[in-house]
Amino acid sequence: MSFDPKDPYDAAALYDMWLNCSRCPATFDFEPGGEVNLDYYHRIGQQARIENWAVLPARNHGEELVFNVLCPDCARRFGVDGCDGRMELAAPVIDQICQAMRDASEQAA
Ligand SMILES: [Zn+2]
């Protein structure tokens, strides 16, 4: 498995750089250091899924993509734990960031 732009967990990790609960100060532990690439965001996203974080993609303000990220405690409080949504389409902005990162890593190789 590799980075999936349609997976809201992967997409939120990429888009927000790391995952912060939108309702409390909880921050998902990300790995400091190491190579930051699409695999890295995929690892963070999938680890957050395993640890029962909730990622609810939403479109606000027209096409601007917003992720509501909830830590396991808040997800339970709001009754959205176990929500494992998939987006029908990768948001254009996620595709753009992916492409930019792929281009950058090809240049580095
Ligand atoms: Zn929280």
Neighbours of ion ligand 1 (CB under 5 A): 21, 23-24, 26, 71, 74
Q: Write out pLDDT tens, residues 26-41.
A: 998 766 677 889 998 9
Q: How many angstroms separate the Cα of 66 from the Cα of each of 12, 34, 49, 94?
A: 9, 27, 18, 11
Phi, psi of 69 (to 5 degrees): -110, 130
| Residue 83 pLDDT grade (very low, low, confident, very high; cuts 50, 70, 90) | low
What angle do helix axes 8-16 and 38-50 make, rounded to 10 degrees? 120
Distance 74 CA to ligand 1 centre (A): 4
Distance 24 CA to ligand 1 centre (A): 4
What's the confidence (pLDDT) of residue 92?
80
Read off the amino acid at residue 45: G
pLDDT at 84 over 70: no
| Residue 56 pLDDT grade (very low, low, confident, very high; cuts 50, 70, 90) | confident
Cα–Cα distance between 108 and 95 in angstroms, integer? 20
Instruction: Say what the pTM is.
Output: 0.79
